[in-house]
Structure 1
Amino acid sequence: MSQQISVKKVTEPELLDEVFAIRREVFVGEQNCPPELEWENEDVSNHFLATIDGEPAGAARWRKTENGYKLERFAVLKQFRGKGVAQELVKTVLTDLPSDAGYVYLNAQIQAVGLYKKFGFEQTGPQFEEAGIQHFKMELKK
């Protein structure tokens, strides 16, 4: 039985609550990120909620920064990993960027580098730590 993955941009408070609950569980709960680092730039970000058969499964966001367009906070709940949710999130977020988005980048946790490479991102610069987790900066090559 195939499961239906859906990703949509959300602005409604009750759906944003679901986005933030997913991020709290993954980043603060599982990965021990300090909560004060997790909750920043929410009001200037475009938020996305992924569902599987209508059940909240993942979240992500993008925002415009002084450097360009930054993709952030990709999170998939443990029970939904390995089902294609992350790929659908990346695909939808990239499609949502403005057509004139020149420089697109993200900071990828090491275990997610392969995912982003599938979408044309390349590692740039050395490995670094953010919120106690090892990352690589990645840039979208068009």
Structure 2
Amino acid sequence: MNLKIEVSKVTNQADLDKAFAIREEVFINEQECPPELEWEFEEESTHFLAAVDGEPAGVSRWRKTEKGYKLERFAVLKNYRGHGVAQALVQAVLNDLPPKADYVYLHAQVQAVPLYKKFGFKKTGQQFDEAGIQHYKMVLQKS
């Protein structure tokens, strides 16, 4: 299957609404995350929307924290998993970070660890629970 995957920075409310709908479907409905934990830090985050053949398929965001730059809320709709959407989102977010982003990290769901390893992230610390799902903190290793 030859799908056209495009990732763009969210610059308008209509695309932000599409991104939020994907997060609601994946995190709240599918993974049963508490809604009150899902909707935080929205205004200070830079959001991304992935489309497959023009249809909304996945989302992600990054934000500056007191520790550095945190990549978050990677979600791909079930029908589009396994086609490279998540990889395209990770690459787009990394490409968008400021040049001074010297400490880049994320909290990876256990099943997503191999994805982030492909981009140079390394696990640090013990496995932990976040929103009822097991995660690892991962930090980008600069080459």
| CA distances 1:59-104 after superposition (whole Å, capped 9, x unpaired) | 0000000000000000000000000000000000000000110100
How do 1:43-54 residues align onto structure 2 when only pairs under 5 Å count?
43-54=43-54
Matched residue, 2:36: 36
Distance 2:79 2:53 in 1: 13
SS at match of 2:91: helix
Matched residue, 1:73: 73
Cα offset for 1:2?
1.1
Percent identity between matched residues is 69
Distance 1:2 1:68 in 2: 37
Matched residue, 1:115: 115
- Aligned alpha-carbon RMSD (Å): 0.5
Cα offset for 1:11?
2.1
Structure 1 unpaired stretches of 5+: none
How do 1:1-142 residues align onto structure 2 when only pairs under 5 Å count?
1-142=1-142
Structure 2 unpaired stretches of 5+: none
Distance 1:11 1:138 in 2: 28
Q: How many residues align?
A: 142
Instruction: State TM-score, norm by structure 2.
Output: 0.98
Q: Which letter maps to 2:30?
A: E
Distance 2:81 2:19 in 1: 16
Distance 1:141 1:7 in 2: 24
